[in-house]
Amino acid sequence: MKYLLLDRDGTINIEKEYLSNPDQLEFCTGAVDGLKKLSDAGYIFFIVTNQSGIGHGIFTREDFNKCMNRLYEMLDKEGIKIESAEFCPHHRGQQCNCRKPMIGMWESLKQKYPELEPKECVMVGDKDTDVILGKNIGCTTFRILSKKWPNEERGDYLVEGLNEVADILLNL
């Protein structure tokens, strides 16, 4: 395994209700340490994130892009690079193939990065939809425990955060 598909909110950064202000970005505990360990070991990172606030009209694509650019800057300062990010701007009521757990974001990544193979990928997220996406793709799944979201869909691994993900992956 050498590719990580990462949810953003609640996985890399602390989840805030409809994050639209880049100044509100804060890393989850252990996220930087975990990503740094994995980056140093040669892992490549992709973000796959649902952003229903856009579909609800709560914030714009421009707001989302500003938050992503700030996240990239913050990670870059730590020596961590995100290869690419995909996002779904739709809310649950809109019909689309990109909203997790549907596989549209995966298909988009596969078009850009044909070397991506499910057996080489790990999906990491804090919601049922993240784990189900990983299962739909056929990759290994890590479920980050969340007080906010019910943990009904179990991943292959249940962890506290990205630092624990790194410890497990680097010892497989």
Over residues 48-57, the mean pLDDT reads 95
Over residues 139-158, the mean pLDDT reads 87
pLDDT, position 95: 87
With bands split at pLDDT 50, 70 and 90, how would you rate the model's confidence at 88? Answer: very high
Judge whether residue 1 has pLDDT over 80. no
* Token code pair at residue 142: 């890590």
Please report the domains of the chain, with CATH numbers, ordered by start residue: 3-169 (3.40.50.1000)
State the Cα–Cα distance between residues 65 and 24, nearest whole angstrom: 14
Quote the pTM value.
0.95
Judge whether residue 92 has pLDDT over 90. no
Judge whether residue 105 has pLDDT over 90. yes
H helix or E strand, kind and range, residue 5: strand 3-6
Q: Indicate if 130 belongs to the active site.
A: no
Residue carrying the six token digits 């340490």? 33
* Token code pair at residue 66: 């500003």
pLDDT tens profile 117-140: 999 999 999 999 999 999 999 999
Over residues 11-40, the mean pLDDT reads 96
Q: Indicate if 7 belongs to the active site.
A: yes
Q: How far is CA 13 from each of CA 31, 97, 104, 113, rounded to the nearest angstrom?
A: 8, 25, 23, 25
With bands split at pLDDT 50, 70 and 90, how would you rate the model's confidence at 70? Answer: very high
State the Cα–Cα distance between residues 34 and 109, nearest whole angstrom: 23
Q: What residue ranges in 14-110 does DSSP mark as E strands?
A: 44-50, 82-88
pLDDT, position 146: 84
pLDDT, position 154: 85
State the Cα–Cα distance between residues 96 and 113, nearest whole angstrom: 22
pLDDT, position 147: 76
Which among 54, 53, 47 is positioned nearest to 7, based on CA atoms? Answer: 47
pLDDT, position 127: 95
pLDDT, position 42: 97
pLDDT, position 152: 77
